[in-house]
Amino acid sequence: MSILHFFLTFLILTALSSCAIIGWYLSSRGSWEITPDGKWKKTGMIFKYWSLFFEQYRKTKTVFYKGEGLREKFEFLKKVHPKIVTDRLQYDLSAIWAHSGNKITPSELQLIKDALRCNVSVGSNDELILSEEQPVYDWPEWIQKPLSSCPTCLSGPYGTAIYLVFLKLQRDAFAWTDSPIMAKIGFYIIFLLTLACLNTGISKKLKI
């Protein structure tokens, strides 16, 4: 294979690989839903059992908003309900506090919950406690993300498999160089990095 032929093949391989990986990601999305009769049902795409297997969890953990995360919530609330914030609330890095003598009413608390989309409760000192429940997955992140849940990370294992198949089918792919081993390693790294960038771009474009 000539060097020009190789580069053309390499570009086509990279583009098709990215499309194939994103296609697999989309076709393997699945979720659990509750039917009207109260039963759990698996829904999603044709290969949904793949993501349901690697992204399953049986318990959650409570994570409290603090620091920068809390500040972002406070700034968002200020934009959505400026009157509540001005009349009722003040902020520091550890909590959102109600002004002295201006306690949050139940109706205002509900408005805050609806706006922030997280758990909001009132503490003993009239501070707002923000939290959310995050899943504790059965599979560790370094397995789950590259195999199922992260379009960018999928380029690692799937890209490696595609590249190995390419080398197997195109044994003369690096006949144009005097150092085929180094070229294979170098273009393997380039292939994965390019694939990751393409997957990221496509996933953002498709908003997945």
- Of 42, 25, 9, 50, give the one whose Cα is nearest residue 163: 9
**Do residues 96 and 130 touch, judged by C-beta distance below 8 A?**
yes
pLDDT above 70 covers what percent of the chain?
A: 96
**Do residues 95 and 127 touch, judged by C-beta distance below 8 A?**
yes
- In this predicted structure, what is the pLDDT of residue 95? 73
- Of 141, 165, 159, 143, give the one whose Cα is nearest residue 196: 159
Delimiting residues of CATH 3.30.70 domain(s) in the chain = 62-135
CA distance 193 to 80: 40
- In this predicted structure, what is the pLDDT of residue 179? 92
CA distance 129 to 121: 5
| Domain 62-135: top CATH class | alpha beta
- In this predicted structure, what is the pLDDT of residue 93? 63
Confidence of residue 46 (pLDDT cuts 50, 70, 90): very high
- In this predicted structure, what is the pLDDT of residue 36? 85
What's the chain's average pLDDT?
A: 89
- Of 100, 150, 106, 147, give the one whose Cα is nearest residue 127: 100
- In this predicted structure, what is the pLDDT of residue 50? 96
Asked if the model's pLDDT at residue 62 lies above 80, the reply is yes
- In this predicted structure, what is the pLDDT of residue 103? 75
pLDDT by residue (tens digit) across 94-144? 678 776 666 778 888 888 889 988 898 888 777 888 899 999 999 999 999
- In this predicted structure, what is the pLDDT of residue 205? 93
Q: Tell me, what amino acid is at 197? A: C
CA atoms within 13 A on the CB side of 133: 6
